[in-house]
Amino acid sequence: MTDELNRKLYEMHAEICKVLTNPKRIEILNLLRDGERSVGDLALLAELPQTSVSQHLSFLRQKGMVVSRRDGSSIYYTVANEKIFSAMDIMKELLLERLQADQELVAGLAGSPASAGRP
C-alpha cells in the first residue's frame, strides 16, 4: 500500500474509533445485533429518552455505521455492516482479558506477605 493510502486508512480508523468513544452508542449498536429496531424500541431497551437515542443514531448514520428506513411515522435502524460486531467482540475480549489480569494482580497483592498485617 502507498503511504497516502495508509494515511487515509489511519484517518478512517480514527474516525470509527471516535464513534465508539460513547458507551451509549456502543450499547445502541449492540442492541442492533438481533436486527432492525425502531428508535422507540432502542430508547426503551437502552433506557434513554427517545431524543437522545435519535441523536446518537443520527451521529452513527452520519459516520456510516447504521442505515435507516422509514415506515410510516416510524424510523428503523440496522447496522450498515455486520463486521462491526466482530470488531466490537474483539475489543470486548481484549477488555475482559485486561480485567481478568487486573483482578489476578489485585488477588496476588492481597495474598502477598507485605499485605499480611493489614485489615
Q: Are residues 104 and 74 in the same domain?
A: no
Which candidate, 87, 75, 82, places its Cα nearest to that of 20?
87
pLDDT at 106 over 90: no
Are both 102 and 69 inside the same structural domain? no
Q: Would you say the C-alpha torsion 86, 91, 96, 98 has a positive or negative sign?
A: positive
Q: What predicted TM-score, i.e. pTM, was given to this entire model?
A: 0.81
Q: Between the CA atoms of 78, 15, 62 and 26, what dihedral angle is there, to the nearest 10 degrees?
A: 40
Say which residue the cell 416510524 belongs to.
74
Contact 69, 24 (CB under 8 A): no
Average model confidence (pLDDT) for the chain?
A: 91
The per-residue pLDDT for range 34-43, each reduced to its tens digit, is: 999 999 999 9
pLDDT tens-digit profile of 6-43?
999 999 999 888 889 999 999 999 999 999 999 999 99
Are 19 and 66 part of one and the same domain? yes
Domain check: are 24 and 39 in the same one?
yes
pLDDT digits (tens, 9 = 90+) for 63-100: 999 999 999 999 999 999 999 999 999 999 999 999 99
